[in-house]
Amino acid sequence: MNRLLISYDLVSPGRNYDDLYDYLTNFPKWAKPLESLWVVKTKKNCDQVKKEIVDNYLDQNDKLLVVNITGSASSWFNIPAEDWIKNNE
């Protein structure tokens, strides 16, 4: 299983987070530690998730970053999803 960090910036006009939130919360394991930052656990790779998001939820002016953080060292401070991150390494 991959642990993917997903960050995005939906640029106005046409900001609509609802469909993107539905997509991200549909992963069996997910956390939203910061406003536009998610961590999901999935069998998919970065390119697959990026393609699904770009093809279905983003406009041409939006921005997206998907990074595989499986097994990577990490450090954080005061993150609400701290327990989820520790339990899904």
- The residues spanned by each domain of the chain are 2-87
pLDDT tens, residue by residue, 11-25: 877 677 899 999 999
Question: What's the topology of domain 2-87?
Answer: Alpha-Beta Plaits (3.30.70)
CA 84 to chain centre: 14
Terminal CA-CA length for the chain: 10
Give the model's confidence band at 89: pLDDT under 50 very low, under 70 low, under 90 confident, else very high: low
What mean pLDDT is reported for the chain?
88
Per-residue confidence band for 66, with pLDDT thresholds at 50, 70 and 90: very high
Distance of CA 69 to CAs 12, 39, 73, Å? 29, 9, 8
